[in-house]
Structures are given as structure tokens and as C-alpha cells.
Amino acid sequence: MAMRALQGKTYFIRTFGCQMNLHDAERVSGELDACGCLSVSDPAEADIVVFMTCCVREAADQRLYGQCNSCKSLPAPPSGKRVVAVGGCIAQRDGEGLLVNVDNVNVIFGTHAIAHVSELIEAAFEDDERHILTAEDASGSATAMPWHRATSYHAWVPIMTGCNNFCSYCIVPYVRGREKSRTFEEIVDEVTGLARIGVREVTLLGQNVNSYGRDRYGAPRFAELLRAVGETGVERIRFTSSHPKDLLPETIAAMAEVPAVMPHLHLAVQSGSTRILHEMNRRYTREDYLSLVHQVRERIPEIALTTDIIVGFPGETEEDFLETLSLAREVGYAQAFTFIYSRREGTPAARIPDDTPREVILDRFDRLVSVIEDTAFAFNQVELGRRVPVLVEGTSKKNPHMLQGKSPKNQTVHAPLPEGASLDDYLGRIVDIDVDTARTWYLSGSLASDPR
Ligand code: SF4
């Protein structure tokens, strides 16, 4: 660890992309804290500026270039020299090639090189060379690093990295490598330790948590892991992401039977058309997906199902799209992340010709969003008049006197902060809220218990 050389330096981290990146950023932050660095909220005050990048969508590349370039016009930092470091998926994918688009980057560290971030940054302060590490076998374990959690009540717990699925549109397996599971014991010990220090909720993270353990133990052990984590004393367990082709009956049973596993499943469907699913190399059909939904609802009738959907995959016809719309209605999603297909160089889908006009794709996107708004609204209506336990995460962005938190089904819930009370009395604690309003994207009501 580069302790002395970085002591007292200020750092700023900006993160793009998924939860895995957020967690990687927590590790980088933890490592810099351990070196004696101080976090600041303004890049102008930072000796070290770190960008944690995502390359799932093309717009992310342009944003990164813009952010790096904007560092050039910042005032000189406290130490006189500013080191700009780029980590995450774009760093892994482009390595030195990133310098073609941005010329003021001192450190490039790939997704396998997080454990080396402080050494690379220290070296960059000492000379004017570029320090680049993107080797897939970069030694050191990121999961053994200290990390700085954004909150004291929630923790991301990576259970595996990488992905073996090679969906035809996705760059992730090329930049995060193949599936690599942590040991069962290491994960359970980590969650036990988190529960002991007061963490109320953990989110188990992986690109495809359902295949957890397959690489290490020869067969998936995710259901067993859920049961073991459920014994640690942590009150709320969530997980993401979950590939439909690997969701096993024993996992559904564990979700139904372990009280701490929250009644929410993010099950990315991507398309409702079997033909497009085949082109996407998703390895399930529309019927397979609907049958899974049926099995999950049979065990957990009120579960919140959320999903990811891509609109405008190359060759998608109106008929294919209508199948997506009807599937979304049939499932009744509580929420969906909807994306317009983004062509990623190097993926098989990038070679599929497509002449669908942009306006047609945009129109489909709007129609899908409108269906999801309807299903989300309907999903929330069942909570009217109910008492819901909510983990308080802060206050509403629009109103500092309105508490905001999450229900077990991951719905955002608001309730007024009592007169004279402070957010600190509630933050990271669970309160009951009597729901009297149910909108498309949130519930609201009144406090019905003290925080616990
Ligand atoms: S499951 Fe498919 S979409 Fe998800 S990370 Fe793996 S390749 Fe990408």
C-alpha cells in the first residue's frame, strides 16, 4: 500500500454505470482512505480525480472523454499536481488506446487491477509517465481490499465477478472476464461481520448471481448461499443480477423460505420475442420466461418483479416489439429499466445489419415506457391502506422534511419527518409507514412507529 506518498492528498471519484462499478468505486475509495487521502466533493479541490467507467452504452465513452477534458480547465490542486485516473470497463477495454481520445490521463487501471490502484497513483505523482495496468491476471484480490461504504446501513457484497453468457449485444464478458466466484465461507463471514457492525441490508452482487459457485464448486450454490446469509442476522437481503436461464427452483424456494430475502426479483427479460431472444443469445424463450414468472409468483405471490428491456435490437420488427409489450403487461412489472439498443463494437450483434428508422425505435420506446408506467402504477395500488416497514435512506430530493426509504419490495416510500425530529434519528433505521397514496414511482403515508 502506497501509504506515505499519498498521505494528505485529496481525491474525488465519479462513477458511471452499474452497481458493480459503484462497489468497485467503494473499494478504490477505501484504498485511498487507507493511504491517508481525504475525499472531497469537488474535482477542483482534488489532487486525484478518479473516473470509474462503464462501456455498456456508447454515450458513456463520450461522457468520459468530456469529463477528462474538463479536468484540464480546473484550477491547480492543493499539492500542485493533479493525477487523473480512469478505472472500470472502458479502462479494461481500451487500455493504452484510451489515450487516443484523452491525453491528460495519468493512470489507467482495468477491472482486474483495482488492488493496485494506490501504487499506480503513487507512481504517477513521482514521474510524468503513464501508468497502465489492464492485465487479466493482475495479482491481488480486490475483495480483500478495504472499502469505504457510502452508507453505514447498506453494503454491496460482491459474490462473483465476470460473466460467461456472451449475450450477443453485451461487452461485459470481454471487459470483466469469465465468472469467478468468491468462496462460500468468505461471503458468509463478510455478511456476518457486516450484520455485527449494524448493517441492516446487503445486496449480493454479480453479473449472474444464479450461477454463483459453478466455476469454483462445479455446480451453482446460490440457493444455499441465500440460506446461509439468511442465518447471519442481517435483516434485509437483496441480490442482482439474475439471469432467467439459471434461475433454479431451489433458489425460488430459498427466496420464499428465508425471511430476510426481500420479495423483489430483478429478472432481466430484454425482449418478449423468442426470435429476438435467440438473436440476443439469451438461451430462453418467451414461454420459458413466463413459466418462471409463474413459478416465482406461485411461491411468492406478491413479489415485485423488475426487469431490463432493450428496444430496437437489430432486426426487431413491429411484431417482435408487440410481443415485448404484451409480455410486459402480462408480467405486470413493478419497474423496468428500458434502453434503446446501443451498438458495441466487438460484439456479435454489432455485425447484424439494421435499417429500422430511428423515429420508429423512439416511438416503440415511448410506447413501452407508457406500458411500464401503467403496470408500475397498478402494482403500487395494492399497498394502499397497508402498513409497510421502510428502511430510511434519507429525505426526498424535493422536500428535506419528507423522509424517504425503501419497502421490502423496493418501492420508494415517503412520510413527513415529525416536527422537531432530525433525519439522524431515522437514517438507516426501519419505520412503519401507513400508506395512503400510491403513485407510479412512489408510495407515501404517515409514520406509524418509532424508528428501530
Ligand atoms: S448475462 Fe448477458 S447481459 Fe448480463 S453481463 Fe452477461 S453477457 Fe452481459
Average pLDDT score over residue span 54-70: 81
Query: Band of the pLDDT at 225, cuts 50, 70, 90?
Result: very high
User: Lowest-pLDDT range, 75-84, 193-202, 285-294?
Assistant: 75-84
How far is Cα 443 from Cα 381, in angstroms, rounded to an integer? 9
Centre a 10 Å sphere on the Cβ of residue 167 and count the other Cβ atoms it contains: 21
The overall longest dimension of the chain from CA atoms, in Å, is 64
Burial of 30 (0-12, 13-18, 19+ CB in 10 A): middle
Task: Give kind and range of the element (H or E) at residue 173.
Answer: helix 172-176
Residue bearing the CA closest to ligand 1, atom 2: 167
- Ligand 1: nearest atom to the Cα of 164: 6
DSSP strand pairing (48-53 vs 335-340):
unpaired
Q: Which residues contact 298 (CB under 8 A, 6 or more apart)?
A: none
Cα(169) to centroid(ligand 1), Å? 9
- The pLDDT of residue 171 is 85
Which comes out higher in pLDDT, residue 61 or 203? 203
DSSP strand pairing (402-406 vs 412-416):
antiparallel
Domain architecture of the chain: domains with CATH:
3-133 (3.40.50.280), 146-381 (3.80.30.20), 387-447 (2.40.50)
Average pLDDT score over residue span 217-243: 96
Average pLDDT score over residue span 1-22: 80
Average pLDDT score over residue span 204-215: 94
Query: Band of the pLDDT at 89, cuts 50, 70, 90?
Result: confident
How far is Cα 191 from Cα 58, in angstroms, rounded to an integer? 35
Q: Which residues contact 392 (CB under 8 A, 6 or more apart)?
A: 403, 404, 405, 426, 427, 428, 429, 430, 431, 451
- The pLDDT of residue 25 is 87
- Ligand 1: nearest atom to the Cα of 170: 8
Q: Is 173 in the pocket of ligand 1 (CB under 6 A)?
A: yes
Candidate of 54, 89, 172, 214 to mutate for ligand 1, largest count of ligand atoms within 8 Å of Cβ: 172
- The pLDDT of residue 238 is 98
- The pLDDT of residue 20 is 78
- Ligand 1: nearest atom to the Cα of 176: 5
Average pLDDT score over residue span 355-373: 95
Best CA proximity match to 149, nearest among 430, 428, 431: 428
Q: Please give the radius of gyration of the chain, using alpha carbons only, rounded to the nearest integer.
A: 23
How far is Cα 333 from Cα 294, in angstroms, rounded to an integer? 13
pLDDT at 300 over 90: yes
User: Lowest-pLDDT range, 92-96, 307-311, 346-350?
Assistant: 92-96
| pLDDT tens figures, 174-198 | 888 889 999 999 999 999 999 999 9
Q: Is 271 in the pocket of ligand 1 (CB under 6 A)?
A: no
Place of cell 419505520: 431
State the cell numbers at 222: 446460490
- Ligand 1: nearest atom to the Cα of 163: 6
pTM exceeds 0.75: yes
Query: Band of the pLDDT at 141, cuts 50, 70, 90?
Result: low
Place of cell 470509474: 52
Mean pLDDT for the chain?
Answer: 91
